[in-house]
Amino acid sequence: MASPGTVRLLTALWDDSLDEIRPTLDTGTGEVTYPDADERLDERDGETFDVLETLAERELLHREFQEKQYICPRCETKGMQYTTACPTCESPLTIRTDRYRHSDCGYEGIREQFVEADGVVCPECKTALESLQHLESDAAHVCEDCEEIFETPEHRLRCRDCHFVFPPLQTIERILYRYYLSERGAEWVEEQLTARQSVAEIFEDRKLKTEIDTTVTDREGDDVPVHVYARDELLNDHVVAAVHERPDERDVAALRSVASDADARATLVTTSGSVVGGNVEELVSGDGMAVLSLQNGSLRREYEVAEDADAGNSFVGRIADIFKPQNG
């Protein structure tokens, strides 16, 4: 996962233009966002939280606990609101009050049941009392729907959208973090920027007009973010380059698709020197695909193909000349 958006985001942490990525809670809606990350990621990167978690799992980001968020299991609205509910009828319409007990007859009830217009009277034995202070009391709750009186209400979470009420354990719990760039992340950014700049300089040396972190237009007319785009309009020569640490079949297929839509050749750069996937050999060896690897700060024509992320290297491939222009 090395989209232009993720490189842009981690670069901001690397060059100190952004010190951390922190969640922001909208107290009105309960929505949690990461505005600093949203600003730098592209729409095609997907949900920001998922991107951040993926980067943390890859140890490119270090995370620290910030708070918890609860999501409605019925409509998936984020930011459920805490409430209490009656243990008998489950109604959230409960009120905290005091419960009184007349020690002479043992009757228990709330304040309104003992207080009458002409004084304090036990509703059970009709004994008149000087004040409520002559009754034993403790904290209680009363349900206004079923009139049940109870000591402790049930903990519940209420959806702000569909208004359904659920026990906390039945909701979706999401832990929110603050994210910082890790040492591994800093190394990753340096490799990405070195590889991207190196391939851009190669294109520039061949008099191609080159742009870094730009977009190309696909067949639907949408702008697609790319790492490097180089072109020579006179010779009708266009090249789209993508930089990944360990590109897999999905990365290769995505690059092929973008390049095809842009009527361009595809150049894949691997900063690890490896391309991963059982069928990736066929993909990278097709017409128009060039593969380079970053080795000791320089781009080389040799790369390794592994069956999967943990497997040993299966062969060393050599690319065709990527600089042969397309005429047409």
Using one digit for the tens of pLDDT, what is the confidence trace for 227-243? 999 999 888 899 999 99
pLDDT (tens digit, 9 = 90+) per residue, 140-154? 888 889 988 888 889
Q: Are residues 24 and 121 in the same domain?
A: no
Same domain, yes or no: 195 and 151? no
**Is the same domain home to 202 and 287?**
yes
More confident residue, 260 or 313: 260
- Identify the DSSP state of 320: P
Contacts of residue 315, defined as CB under 8 A and 6 or more positions apart, other chains included, come to 281, 304, 305
How confident is residue 212, by pLDDT bands cut at 50, 70 and 90?
A: very high
Question: Which pLDDT score, from 0 to 100, does residue 320 have?
Answer: 34
Same domain, 123 and 52: no
Judgement on whether residues 32 and 176 belong to the same structural domain of the protein: yes
Which of 31, 17, 147 minimizes the C-alpha distance to 81? 31
Beta strands in 93-222 (DSSP E): 94-101, 108-110, 115-116, 119-121, 128-129, 136-143, 149-150, 154-158, 165-166, 172-181, 209-217
Residue 288's pLDDT band (boundaries 50, 70, 90)? Answer: low
How many domains does the chain divide into?
Answer: 3
For residue 99, what are the CA distances in angstroms to 25, 108, 148, 152, 233? Answer: 38, 7, 12, 12, 85
Task: Give domain status of residue 326, yes or no.
Answer: no
Residue indicated by tokens 């995505």: 254
Q: Is residue 174 part of a domain?
A: yes
Whether 246 and 293 map to the same domain: the answer is yes
Is 285 inside any structural domain? yes
Supply the range of the domain harboring residue 40: 4-70+170-181
- Asked if 153 and 86 touch (Cβ cutoff 8 Å), the reply is yes
Residue 250 domain-assigned (yes or no) = yes
- Residue range 14-32: average pLDDT? 85
pLDDT at 120 over 90: no
The residue ranking higher by pLDDT, 306 or 171, is: 171
CB atoms within 10 A of CB 87: 15
Q: Are residues 146 and 257 in the same domain?
A: no
- The residue among 290 and 61 whose pLDDT is bigger is 61
Name the residue with higher pLDDT: 92 or 6. 6
DSSP 245: S
Q: Are residues 176 and 28 in the same domain?
A: yes
| pLDDT mean across residues, the chain | 86
Q: What is the pLDDT of residue 325?
A: 39
pTM tops 0.95, yes or no: no
Paired with 33 in beta bridges are 24
Q: In this predicted model, which residue has the larger pLDDT, 284 or 47? A: 47
